Amino acid sequence: MRTVTVGLLGCGSVGQNVLNLLERRRAIFADLGVQLVVCGVLVRDIGAQRDVPAGTPLTTDPSFLNECGMVVEVMGGIDKPLSLLSPILRSDRPVITANKALLAERWDVLREHALGGRLYYESAVMAGTPIIGPMSTVLRASRFIRLQAVLNGTCAYILSQMEEGKPYQQALSEAQALGYAEDPPTLDVGGFDTAHKLAVLARFCADGDFKFADVKVRGIEDVTLDDIEAARASGEKIKLVATLERDGSGWKAEVAPTRLSNDHPICTSGAGRNAMVYEGEECGPLVFAGGGAGGMVTASAVVGDIMDCVLGFPGHVPLH
Ligand code: HSE
């Protein structure tokens, strides 16, 4: 049996679910000949209420990172995780992250490590609904034409609740209570979280060095119940849609509230969920849909990445 030591950065809703799911899947790791040992869990407040396995080594001191064979980052933010992860990546140790903001905005530092196969981030886009895996492997055989997607669970939830007549502010509070929203939720409702995710995806199908700043962003703050009613009268729904498509010799990447017909696959795939229509010349139009936010849904993809890593599969390698 091989022992693999894992460090965890962050123990919010996703981190707690990762720890519990690792515990639940202990037998599968054993079948793979691996005993995973969590050697430290970095938190801000040790005394906070948490649902984690007994004996979880919570700490505010990141020095345990020196001992870790791999590091899992689910703390969010940009500068702090980057400073903690940089030495790990520089020492060629694998990193698994759910942090789309970090991936989108600090690609200048992370790209070389992703190209080296040391960065795993299936959970960063559409959470437990696999999209980065297919885009970084099988879909490359087809010439990419276009994608259209709902990538933010908070906005999907808010807009679906507004369709039921709920005011915007009440729907936002409910999305926060469900653990979907970022802190601050401006990242969600302003469209920036969707733009982060679109930039991450663009690096697999458009340009391996796609810049976050090249995404044009508009959020849902100005969408009113009247707008939703007007769409309904035309047999349409309003969704916060991310679009990536060819534009001459370059790419057009945009996030904006968009009216789509009720029978569009993005509208029929579930009110609060994520969904994508991906079009490649040879593979044709494909639909991916499922849970895209929330603790256990996200943890399922994080633990999947840990399994890939211990099996020796490379991380998610963008276009060269
Ligand atoms: N705040 C994000 C969302 C979480 O609502 O989709 C998952 O990335």
The CATH number linked to 122 is: 3.40.50.720
Whether 44 and 69 map to the same domain: the answer is yes
d(CA 37, CA 254): 42
In terms of domains, do 68 and 87 share one?
A: yes
Distance (angstroms) between ligand 1 centre and the Cα of 32 equals 32
Q: What's the whole-number mean pLDDT along residues 28-52?
A: 97
Could you tell me the pLDDT band of residue 49, with boundaries at 50, 70 and 90? very high
Q: What pLDDT does residue 270 have? A: 76
In total, how many domains does the chain have?
2
Test site for ligand 1: of 97, 121, 129, 180, most ligand atoms within 8 A of the Cβ = 180
Residues 174, 34 share a domain: no
Question: What atom of ligand 1 comes closest to residue 181's alpha carbon?
Answer: 1
Percentage of the chain beyond pLDDT 70 is: 99
Main-chain dihedrals φ then ψ at residue 158, nearest 5 degrees = -60, -50
12 marked among binding-site residues: yes
Of all protein residues, whose CA lies closest to atom 8 belonging to ligand 1? 293
Confidence of residue 253 (pLDDT cuts 50, 70, 90): very high
Same domain, 153 and 186: yes
For residue 11, being part of any structural domain is answered with yes
30 CA to centre of ligand 1 in angstroms: 32
Mean pLDDT, residues 41-49 taken together: 97
Q: Pocket residues for ligand 1 (CB within 6 Å)?
A: 127, 152-154, 180-182, 188, 193, 292-293
Which two structure tokens, joined as six digits, stand for 62? 């990141």
Residue 179 has pLDDT above 90, yes or no: no
DSSP state of 143: P
pLDDT at 299 over 90: yes
Boundaries of domain holding 260: 134-290
Question: What H or E segment, with its residue span, contains residue 192?
Answer: helix 192-205
Q: Are residues 139 and 286 located together in one domain of the fold?
A: yes
Q: Residue 12's closest CA among 75, 60, 77?
A: 75
Average pLDDT value for the chain? 97
Quote the pLDDT of residue 100.
Answer: 98
Q: What angle do CA 291, 297, 300 make, to 5 degrees?
A: 130
**What token pair was written down for 206?**
């458009």
Q: What are phi and psi of 143, to 5 degrees?
A: -75, 120
- Residue 173 Cα to ligand 1 midpoint, Å, equals 14
Give the CATH number of the domain where residue 164 resides: 3.30.360.10
Asked if residue 222 is part of any domain, the answer here is: yes
* Among protein residues, the one whose CA lies closest to atom 4 of ligand 1: 293
Q: Does residue 320 fall inside a structural domain? A: no
197 is catalytic: yes
Q: Is 319 a member of any domain?
A: no
170 and 91 within one domain:
no
- 268 & 307 share domain: no
At residue 3, the 3 state secondary structure works out as strand
Q: Could you give the CA distance from residue 122 to residue 137 in angstroms, rounded to a whole number?
A: 12
pTM recorded for the entire structure = 0.97
CB 315 within 8 A of CB 94: yes
The CA 57 to ligand 1 mean position distance, Å, reads 27
Average pLDDT, integer, range 123-148: 98
- Confidence grade of residue 269 (pLDDT, cut at 50, 70, 90): confident
**Contact status, residue 169 vs residue 158, Cβ threshold 8 Å:** no
- Annotated binding-site residue? 173: no
Of 80, 166, 197, 211, the catalytic one is 197
> Positive or negative CA dihedral for 14, 18, 19, 20?
positive
Per-residue tokens: 282: 């040879």
Q: Is the domain of 262 the same as that of 305?
A: no
Kindly state whether residue 235 falls inside one of the protein's structural domains: yes
> Does 318 reside within a domain?
no
d(CA 120, CA 209): 17
Looking at the fold, whether 174 and 223 belong to one and the same domain comes out as: yes
- Whether residue 122 sits in one domain with residue 159: no
166 is in an annotated binding site: no
Establish if 115 belongs to a structural domain: yes
| 292 assigned ligand-binding residue | no
- Same domain, residue pair 96 and 141: no
- Shared domain for 138 and 104, answered yes or no, is no
* Phi, psi values for residue 152, rounded to 5°: -125, 115
| Residue indicated by tokens 């980065």 | 132
